[in-house]
Amino acid sequence: MLKKRKVIVTGAGSGIGKEIVKGCLNEGASVIACDINGNSLNNLSLAMDDRNVLYTYQLDVSKYEAVTKFFYYIEAEHSDVDCLVNNAGIYLAKNILDYQADEMDKVLDINVKGFIYFSQMFGKKLLEEKRKGVIINMSSVSGMEGSSDAIYGLSKAAILGLTKSCAMNFSPYIRVNAVAPTMVNTTMMGIIPDWRKEEYLSHQLINTPVLPEDVAETVVFLLSDKAKHYTGATFDINNGGYLR
């Protein structure tokens, strides 16, 4: 589905990001995988076979200068890039009453500003060249229904607004959609409070857990031409949660 596509994926070294990279590669895309963790990127490269066209780039998405430098690299080495998956994020599992100011800044810098920086620079490039492209923003059920970690929840709600606004600002060239999964079996799930996990599960109408590869399949679909009529939409992968 993704032959001739070139996809940037942030937060690509583990969890959902890693599965998105695999899914894109399996569908014939080239991928530029970004992550703050160099070891994770090395392990990702080792896990792929020689047939895959995978490039890795270590950076902190919350640093504007680092993202600017990355897009200079993109212009020089991958000027045909046409897809972006904003996935990098952080979850501290803290009550808002316990947050320190620097912790608030860290979550918002990564979870919101990182998405803004990449969207701005990717959007500017493709709009100036009048080329078609796609942006997928990873949000969360907590951005739609609230979170036990209010700062994380507000960051993921902000991404829904960013998605709709960029869909308008970048039309007709770039389609922009959001994916909002429920709990997914990654390392993050290990620090979600038990009461919140039970609440999520009690609302779900399908009793099959949502896996990282399930989320990746939705992202691959949205990157493909099969989703050519979707923009400004949110795909809530939550087993029918919160319908009642």
pLDDT, tens digit, for every residue of 87-100? 999 999 999 999 99
**Helix or strand or coil: residue 182?**
coil
Q: 38-52 burial by CB neighbour count: b if 16+ within 10 A, else e?
A: eebbeebeeeeeeeb
**What is the rounded CA–CA span in Å between residue 53 and residue 45?**
10
Q: 185 and 212 in contact (C-beta within 8 Å)?
A: yes
Q: 32 and 7 in contact (C-beta within 8 Å)?
A: yes
pLDDT of residue 190: 65
- What token pair was written down for 98? 């316990």
152 belongs to the catalytic site: yes
Average pLDDT over residues 120-137: 98
Q: Domains in the chain, ordered, with CATH?
A: 6-235 (3.40.50.720)
**What is the rounded CA–CA span in Å between residue 17 and residue 26?**
14
How do residues 154-182 score in pLDDT, each as one tens digit? 999 999 999 999 999 999 999 999 999 98
Name the pLDDT band for 213 (thresholds 50, 70, 90).
Answer: very high
Catalytically annotated residue among 152, 173, 230, 242: 152
Cβ neighbours of residue 73 under 8 Å, at least 6 residues apart?
57
Q: 142 and 189 in contact (C-beta within 8 Å)?
A: no
Cβ neighbours of residue 128 under 8 Å, at least 6 residues apart?
none
Rounded to 10 degrees, what is the CA torsion of 41, 47, 49, 53? -20
Per-residue pLDDT at 194 exceeds 80: no
Measure Cα distances from 244 to 78, 143, 184, 200, 205 in Å. Answer: 46, 18, 21, 12, 10
